[in-house]
């Protein structure tokens, strides 16, 4: 019998999970580095109310930051991507800006806005903004201008050209930029919480780290992962619903930039 | 007494120069011709002869520097899809709309009621032989089917004139032949005035009553050839003496 | 040609205006000068900083860690990526996994590296490699995909041997994409190292900026940001310049 790739991959995943339980149990990997699955789940279950409270804090910060980063990034991207002049002027600046490790801005933000939610929101918004902008602007350029001409010949007014052709054509681009930007916002908030804060999942990660309680650290990490994956699924679901046509045209593409 | 101008086009002394990247291109030079009602007229010419510019003007997307284009007795100043239906080359369907919604598109721009829109789109799709394919998206259709949808979209408002810009250029030879026959069938059935731009000489002769031959840039009409082959046209005609002679004649003109 | 210079000029003016606003706003008391010190003050600190031997020590630590992680992650990642992508079965098995790991946040695993390695040079390097290697692998997949099979077929039909195919078809096709990998890897890698330093360390630029942040030394923080931003933009533009030189034949770019 020949195994197909999917089966092998699933076996591999099962194997990894088993190894995650067995290796630390057998003392082959220090439990401090990798707590067994069972211990991690037990930690999560045992401190559920605490995790729930901090998750709620993080989610609120994520939601507000996403509003800033994604709405701002998409709007700026649509405007810049649509104008040759602005594109020539600003895109080189934006992509040079993308090269800067933005983490170093966080200490500045804590000095400016304190260690409460404000500094996290500002940081995560800045963190998600540029990639969203760059993604949207790049995508807008790939919109087929011919379709606008077609619509014009069919009698579309200027307003209809925008609402009936340009915006629907831009939706897939906007969604995939949201996917990248939103993901970065989640990372931004958690990392900021890890660095300095008094609440949130990132805060829990750091607090349990100093207590050397690795099952609790790992449990919090799992929660962040779950949050990121859930977000990704949600956007993909929307993509499939409203932009199925695009998916069928282009083959799967790697997101231009993802988490760091 | 009013002359009947329905379904007619007059192009009168059209010249045009466009500027791109600081370079002037003299695209059209004093082009004049007339298309009477119900006629099928092909336009052929070497690539870059200004066919596209001419077409953009007929579609009301550009205004000529000189001369004027008159459609049913009225000067064309902007797109008027109720008078001239336009069918573009290759993928001009909106990929996010189903075939039916694509056909409905021009109606919905005018705010026609959904029920009416729906009926008209289905009729148009049936006319082009795509009954039952209305809910498919363009990417689920073959090249030939996509062009059928484009034709249906051009016809959905029942304009007296249909203008086609190399509609079958992206299709393979066989599909192209089939689509040519289909177009003739639709034309016989609806009796539109058709202006058909192509770079295939055989296609031009096979389909049309008259072939207008354009010169290389700046585009001029250098010949008007009446095709007196009997209708209905049939595939076998392409290998007959009269057909070949017509093709020859066009080819000689275009070559130099 | 003239238009290009004009664009560059306007861009320069935009940048100058930004710096002007940064200088002028705090001086005119439009913003609190304690929170946003004028540009001149920040640059005075910056010039003091780059002459300070103590700062050189921190900078050296950061650069050593960054370079070490980079020199591990890029070749290893590229090799793994190419091997996986070249083998059809391995590709089918591993590509989705790499894709998945690539798309999950990695910064949150930082504490595990501290628990495993302690706070040390190798902990930072390991975290840097971890933050970088997946993007390198992803780009390597793209690099392999950019080699067109008909080019290989043409080369073969003219009698090219394996060595010649690698040298004449694979390398030229893959170079631009691999350069992109180098550029992205540096961004991810530098971010990873700085974060690790800010989070827990005894030395390094990240550590310094973190410490200044807790001490509200805003001119210092901003001078640190200027240093880091300058270094990353410099590297980035260097690779981009190189990319453009290699890509002249790619007409569609």
Task: Establish if A94 belongs to a structural domain.
Answer: yes
- Chain B hits for A147, Cβ within 8 Å: 92, 94
CB spacing of A111 vs C190 below 8 angstroms: no
pLDDT at B255 over 80: no
Tokens describing residue A233: 């699924």
As a whole number of angstroms, the distance between CA A76 and CA A133 comes to 6
**Confidence at A121, pLDDT banded by 50, 70, 90:** very high
- Greater confidence (A6 vs B12) lies with B12
pLDDT in tens, B194-246: 999 988 888 888 899 999 998 887 888 888 888 888 878 888 888 888 888 88
Q: Which residues of C27-52 are buried (b: 16+ CB within 10 A; e: fewer)?
A: eeeeeeeeebbbbebbbebbeebeee
Q: How far is A140 from chain B (nearest CA, A)?
A: 16
As a whole number of angstroms, the distance between CA B87 and CA B165 comes to 6
What pLDDT does residue B143 have? 87
Q: How far is A155 from chain B (nearest CA, A)?
A: 6
Task: Establish if A156 belongs to a structural domain.
Answer: yes
Beta carbon pairs, A and B, within 8 Å: 62
Give percent of chain B above pLDDT 70.
98
- Greater confidence (C149 vs B148) lies with B148
pLDDT in tens, B27-59: 888 889 989 888 999 998 887 778 878 888 888
What pLDDT does residue B91 have? 66
pLDDT in tens, C172-222: 888 888 888 888 889 899 999 999 999 888 888 899 998 898 888 889 999
Q: Would you call B197 an interface residue with chain A, using a CB distance cutoff of 8 Å?
A: no
pLDDT in tens, A78-99: 888 888 888 888 888 887 888 8
As a whole number of angstroms, the distance between CA B52 and CA B27 comes to 9
As a whole number of angstroms, the distance between CA C36 and CA A249 comes to 49
Domains of chain C, each with CATH number or no CATH:
38-246 (1.10.3720.10)
**How many of the other CB atoms lie within 10 Å of CB of B21?**
4
Find, in chain A, the residue whose alpha carbon is nearest to that of B101: A164
- Chain A hits for B80, Cβ within 8 Å: 155
Task: Establish if A2 belongs to a structural domain.
Answer: no
Q: Would you call C230 an interface residue with chain A, using a CB distance cutoff of 8 Å?
A: no
Sign of CA dihedral A128, A129, A131, A135: positive
As a whole number of angstroms, the distance between CA B135 and CA A180 comes to 32
The strands making up B74-75's β-sheet, listed across from edge to edge, are B23-35, B9-20, B66-71, B74-75
pLDDT at A253 over 70: no
- 8 Å CB contact between C77 and C185: yes
Give the mean pLDDT of chain A. 85
Task: Name the residue with tokens 């240093």.
Answer: C227
Q: How far is A75 from chain B (nearest CA, A)?
A: 22
Task: Establish if A173 belongs to a structural domain.
Answer: yes
Task: Name the residue with tokens 């080019």.
Answer: C151
- Chain A hits for B95, Cβ within 8 Å: 245-246, 249
- Identify the CATH number of the domain in which residue A237 sits: 1.10.3720.10
- Chain C hits for A183, Cβ within 8 Å: 103, 105
**Which CATH architecture fits B1-83+160-256?**
3-Layer(aba) Sandwich (3.40)
Q: How far is A171 from chain B (nearest CA, A)?
A: 10
What pLDDT does residue A251 have? 41
Q: Would you call B175 an interface residue with chain A, using a CB distance cutoff of 8 Å?
A: no
Angle between the N-to-C axes of helices A167-195 and A72-82, in degrees from 0 to 180, rounded to the nearest 10:
140
Task: Establish if A105 belongs to a structural domain.
Answer: yes
What pLDDT does residue A252 have? 38
The Cα-based distances of C16 to A252, C24, C43 in angstroms read: 41, 12, 15
- 8 Å CB contact between A184 and A259: yes
**Confidence at A254, pLDDT banded by 50, 70, 90:** very low
Q: Would you call C89 an interface residue with chain A, using a CB distance cutoff of 8 Å?
A: yes
Out of A50-59, A242-251, C48-57, C120-129, least confident range: A242-251
Give the mean pLDDT of chain B. 87
Q: Which of B60, B139, B153 is nearest residue A249 as measured by Cβ atoms?
A: B139
What pLDDT does residue A176 have? 86
What pLDDT does residue A52 have? 92
φ and ψ of B196, to 5 deg: -125, 110
- Domain containing A151 equals 36-249
CB spacing of B109 vs A164 below 8 angstroms: yes
The 3-state DSSP class for residue A151 equals helix
Of all helices (H) and strands (E), which one includes residue B75? strand B74-75
What pLDDT does residue A171 have? 86
Segments of chain C scoring below 50 in pLDDT: 1, 251-253
pLDDT at A9 over 90: no
What pLDDT does residue B1 have? 43
As a whole number of angstroms, the distance between CA C101 and CA C197 comes to 23
Q: Which of A153, A160, A249 is nearest residue B81 as measured by Cβ atoms?
A: A153
Domain boundaries, chain B: 1-83+160-256, 90-158
CB spacing of A155 vs B88 below 8 angstroms: no
Residues of chain A whose beta carbon is less than 8 angstroms from a beta carbon of chain B are 144, 146-147, 149-157, 160, 164-165, 168-169, 171, 243-246, 248-249
- Chain A hits for B139, Cβ within 8 Å: 245, 248-249
The 3-state DSSP class for residue C212 equals helix
Angle between the N-to-C axes of helices C39-50 and C218-246, in degrees from 0 to 180, rounded to the nearest 10:
80
Tokens describing residue A129: 């903004």
Task: Establish if A16 belongs to a structural domain.
Answer: no
**How many of the other CB atoms lie within 10 Å of CB of C53?**
6
What pLDDT does residue C66 have? 93
The Cα-based distances of A104 to A190, A202, C97 in angstroms read: 15, 17, 31
CB spacing of C108 vs A93 below 8 angstroms: no
Chains near B, with 3+ CB pairs < 8 A? A
As a whole number of angstroms, the distance between CA C246 and CA C244 comes to 5
As a whole number of angstroms, the distance between CA A219 and CA B128 comes to 61
- Selected for mutation to probe chain B from A142, A147, A152, A154 (highest B CB count within 10 Å) is A154
CB spacing of A111 vs C35 below 8 angstroms: yes
Task: Establish if A122 belongs to a structural domain.
Answer: yes
Find, in chain C, the residue whose alpha carbon is nearest to that of A98: C187
CB spacing of A248 vs B61 below 8 angstroms: no
First-to-final CA distance of chain C: 18
Number of domains in chain A: 1
């Amino acid at each position: 019998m020949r195994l197909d790739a999917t089966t092998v991959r699933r076996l591999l995943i099962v194997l990894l999970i088993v190894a995650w339980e067995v290796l630390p149990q057998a003392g082959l990997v220090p439990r401090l580095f990798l707590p067994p699955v069972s211990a991690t789940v037990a930690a999560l279950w045992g401190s559920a109310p605490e995790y729930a409270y901090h998750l709620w804090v993080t989610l609120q910060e994520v939601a507000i930051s996403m509003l800033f980063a994604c709405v701002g990034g998409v709007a700026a991207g649509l405007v810049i991507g649509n104008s040759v002049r602005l594109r020539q002027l600003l895109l080189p600046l934006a992509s040079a800006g993308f090269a800067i490790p933005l983490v170093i801005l966080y200490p500045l933000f804590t000095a400016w806005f304190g260690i409460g939610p404000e500094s996290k929101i500002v940081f995560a918004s800045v963190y998600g903004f540029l990639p969203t902008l760059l993604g949207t602007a790049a995508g807008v350029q790939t919109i087929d201008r011919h379709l606008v001409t077609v619509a014009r010949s069919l009698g579309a007014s200027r307003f209809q050209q925008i609402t009936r052709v340009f915006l629907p054509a831009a939706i897939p681009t906007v969604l995939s930029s949201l996917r990248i930007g939103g993901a970065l916002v989640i990372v931004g908030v958690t990392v900021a919480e890890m660095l300095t804060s008094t609440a949130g999942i990132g805060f829990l990660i750091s607090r349990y780290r100093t207590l050397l309680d690795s099952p609790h650290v790992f449990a919090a990490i799992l929660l962040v992962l779950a949050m990121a994956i859930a977000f990704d699924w949600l956007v993909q679901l929307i993509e499939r619903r409203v932009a199925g046509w695009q998916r069928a045209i282009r083959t799967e593409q790697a997101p231009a930039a993802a988490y760091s | 007494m009013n002359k009947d101008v329905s379904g007619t086009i007059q192009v009168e002394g059209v010249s045009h120069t466009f500027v791109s990247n600081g370079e002037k291109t003299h695209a059209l030079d004093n082009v004049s011709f007339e298309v009477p009602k119900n006629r099928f007229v092909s336009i052929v010419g070497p690539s870059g002869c200004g066919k596209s510019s001419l077409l953009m003007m007929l579609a009301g997307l550009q205004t000529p520097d000189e001369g004027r284009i008159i459609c049913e007795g009225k000067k064309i100043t902007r797109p008027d899809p109720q008078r001239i239906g336009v069918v573009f080359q290759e993928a001009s369907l909106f990929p996010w709309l189903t075939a039916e919604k694509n056909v409905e598109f021009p109606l919905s721009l005018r705010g026609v009621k959904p029920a009416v829109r729906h009926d008209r789109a289905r009729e148009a799709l049936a006319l082009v032989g795509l009954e039952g394919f209305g809910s498919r998206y363009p990417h689920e259709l073959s090249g030939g089917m996509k062009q059928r949808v484009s034709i249906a979209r051009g016809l959905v408002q029942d304009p007296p004139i249909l203008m086609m810009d190399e509609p079958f250029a992206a299709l393979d030879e066989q599909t192209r032949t089939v689509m040519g026959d289909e177009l003739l069938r639709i034309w016989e059935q609806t009796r539109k005035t058709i202006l058909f731009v192509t770079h295939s000489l055989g296609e031009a002769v096979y389909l049309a009553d008259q072939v207008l031959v354009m010169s290389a840039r700046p585009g001029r009409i250098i010949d008007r050839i009446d095709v007196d082959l009997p209708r209905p046209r049939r595939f076998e005609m392409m290998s007959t003496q009269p057909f070949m002679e017509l093709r020859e004649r066009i080819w000689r003109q275009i070559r130099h | 040609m003239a238009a290009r210079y004009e664009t560059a000029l306007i861009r320069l003016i935009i940048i100058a205006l930004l710096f002007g606003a940064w200088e002028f706003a705090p001086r005119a008391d439009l913003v609190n000068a304690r929170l946003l010190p004028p540009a001149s003050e920040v640059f005075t600190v910056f010039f003091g900083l780059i002459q300070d031997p103590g700062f050189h020590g921190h900078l050296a630590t950061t650069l050593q860690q960054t370079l070490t992680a980079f020199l591990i992650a890029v070749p290893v990642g590229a090799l793994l990526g190419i091997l996986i992508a070249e083998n059809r079965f391995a590709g089918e098995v591993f590509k989705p996994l790499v894709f998945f790991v690539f798309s999950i946040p990695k910064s949150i695993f930082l504490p595990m590296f501290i628990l495993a390695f302690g706070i040390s040079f190798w902990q930072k390097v390991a975290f840097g490699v971890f933050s970088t290697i997946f993007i390198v692998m992803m780009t390597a997949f793209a690099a392999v995909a950019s080699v067109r099979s008909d080019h290989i077929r043409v080369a073969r039909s003219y009698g090219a041997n394996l060595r010649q195919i690698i040298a004449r078809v694979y390398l030229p096709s893959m170079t631009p994409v691999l350069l992109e990998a180098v550029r992205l890897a540096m961004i991810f890698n530098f971010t990873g190292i700085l974060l690790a330093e800010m989070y827990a360390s005894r030395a390094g630029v990240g550590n310094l900026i973190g410490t200044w942040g807790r001490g509200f030394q805003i001119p210092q923080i901003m001078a640190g940001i200027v240093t880091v931003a300058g270094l990353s933009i410099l590297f980035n533009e260097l690779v981009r310049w190189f990319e453009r030189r290699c890509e002249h034949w790619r007409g569609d770019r």
